[in-house]
Chains A and B, each alone.
Chain A
Amino acid sequence: MKNVLATGLIGLSLLVSGHAYAEPVKIGVITTLSGGGAGLGIDMRDAFTLAIKQSGNKDIELVIEDDAQKPELAVQIAEKMIQSDKVDLMTGIIWSNLAMAVVPNAVAQDVIYLSPNAGPSALAGANCHPNYFNVAYQNDNFHEAMGQYANQDYKNTFILAPNYPAGKDSLTGFKRFYKGELAGEVYTQVGQTDYAAEIAQIRASGADSVFFFLPGGMGIAFMKQYAQSGVDIPVMGPGFSFSQDVLPAVGDAALGVKNSATWAKDLDNEASREFVEAFQSEYNRLPSIYAAQSWDTANLILSALSKASVQDKEAFRAALKEADFDSVRGEFKFNTNNHPVQNVYIREVVKEDDVLTNTIVGTAFEDHKDAYAEQCNMQ
């Protein structure tokens, strides 16, 4: 009996004194791997698994599941990961509405969630949580940057977005920094694929510029139809509609369009160059911004694991909050509400060797913070 106890004690002391990263860590990744939105989830997963693989950390176990872009299914998978797989950390969700379904419950059960994409305003303000870290952006950020950029050249902008919360956040974000007049403000139907009616309105509105936020297939359809219609009012938008996953489908219609994002593959830093090279050689395609954010999420987790044990939530949260990793986005820190403080850039779509991609042409904000942090009562 004594021996058993002694062995136990030795084991325990080894555990305490040993390196923090020598213990097994389970990370649950819920992302969209089937259906129309699967491209984004696949980029997320590929970058994340690649970063973990490159770290050589054998103690990390990934549990990856497909949410099919359905909130109910995402909730069920999250429950399974928390209750059955007993994961220490969770990440992976692409869409705001799925994040809203999963995150409040997960963090309430003392699981740390790191968002590699999607930053609904509801989770950044009064409902912020110490277990919730957003490694991507707050939903308004890209749109705010476009509003700031529009002030340079434009006085009369026509703005449109889908009629759902992220769409409203988008136009609110744009208007927060834009000082000119609005030639029109239109909310389109979610999932709408024909924009002839809106384009006709734009043509007739006398606008000097168009700002649109239409993620996924909606943006592809809008850009193609806009270019085909022959309307020559300049368009601009957040980087989502000009990301590496959709550019091939938009085609040359996107050439020259200014868009905002926190990263492009030509961003001048060592981490970004390494990331692009690693991703390209592993998967033989250019990484999207979703891949970049996911890569950062993985490296943030790795950095925290080298400082603290995931079992000690308090210490681990503190280690995460230090954000002591080489972000592909350059300078990166967390604000009081665990959302990023980072630069937002203006990019332009260009063609390199017959491949459409983005190049950075300016900086809209330096060390930009989101507008909701004040409503969050965390320190």
Chain B
Amino acid sequence: MSTALLIEQLLNGLQLGVMLFLMAAGLTLIFGVMGLINLAHGSFYMAGAFACATVAAATGSFWIGLIASLITAAAAGAIVEMAVIRRLYERDHLDQVLATFALILIFSEGTRWLFGSFPLYLDIPPLLQGAVPLPGGGQYQLYRLAIIGVGIVVAIGLYLLISRTRLGMRIRAGESDREMIAALGVDISTLYTVVFALGAALAGLAGALVGALQSVQVGMGEPVLILAFVVIVIGGIGSIKGALFGAVLVGVVDTMGRFLLPQALMLVLPPSQTALISGALASMLIYIVMALILAFRPTGLFAAQP
């Protein structure tokens, strides 16, 4: 195993982590501010990917598609928030789980109705094709580096937004005391819509970025959604910092598990068994990590609310 391969795999883990962060940031923000569990967050991811693929196919430009994905996901988020979600803030988690579970069914079949049953095509833009050399003799794909870059920019942007702007001040106030911000004369329902649309837009962005790497198809949001939940639970629900840390942890553990487990097991097991058993273990690994972390820190690593 060379250093170059190890570095490449670490970068792959980081890239997966960054993508999960884009999903998890919205989820954790929505939970932190409004106290809402949103199972339908994966649908915005899917909406972003479909919007990007459709617009990119029509205009020939990935970049216009990317803008379209942000607009579509944000608009879908705002509409869903105003039509459905705002009726759920006062309900218990159970009702929220069921209502957003229903939204998944509606979104998936609705998307299939609009776009048909076959997967769509979306490729990475010419500007970002190719690879860059790595120290140690390897090389790494430029587009994946760009995704890591986008993730870092979004993380910094969110940090600045929350710590330096009026909107961020209201979000922080909303997290600590919902009654108080109403008393301060802040229009809560607009604030909630904005936060929800912001979360949806981040998910849509993730969907569009990843859509160029994967297949743009109905149901693509669900596996990511479950991983994003793992991320925010590990990080501590409501904490952006926790989401970032959890996302990178999950991304790296998952990637390195798939990479290193077979090699480690090769030392103790006959080769015919290794591939199967390491496959089984690698797919369970992040859930084992999550259970271990919660067993020792029941509210995650960086819980925003005690």
Contact = CB atoms under 8 A, between A and B. Distances in A.
Answer yes or no: are A and B bound together in one complex. yes
Is chain A's binding surface mostly helix, strand, loop or mixed? helix
Interface of B: 1-2, 5, 8-9, 12, 15-16, 108-109, 112, 117-121, 123-124, 129-131, 139, 141, 143-144, 210, 212-220, 223, 255, 258-259, 262, 275-276, 278-280, 282-283
Contacts of A33: 117
B230 to A, nearest CB: 14
A228 interface: yes
A204 B120 CA distance: 31
Interface in A162-186: 163, 168, 185-186
A223 to B, nearest CB: 9
Contacts of B124: 228
A251 interface: yes
Contacts of B8: 200
A224 B213 contact: yes
Contacts of B217: 36, 217, 220, 249
Contacts of A11: none
Nearest to B130: A230
Interface residues of A, number: 40
B145 to A, nearest CB: 12
Nearest to A189: B283
A24 interface: no
B9 A249 contact: no
Contacts of B123: 224, 251
Nearest to B108: A35
A143 B62 CA distance: 36
B60 to A, nearest CB: 14
Interface stretch (A103-111, A191-199, A294-302): A191-199
Contact of B214 (A194, A198, A204, A245): A194
Nearest to A167: B279
B118 A39 contact: yes
Given A186-B262, A228-B141, 14 more contacts: A34-B112, A38-B112, A187-B279, A190-B283, A194-B16, A197-B12, A197-B255, A197-B258, A200-B9, A221-B215, A230-B141, A246-B118, A248-B119, A248-B120
A363 interface: no
A306 interface: no
A193 B215 contact: yes
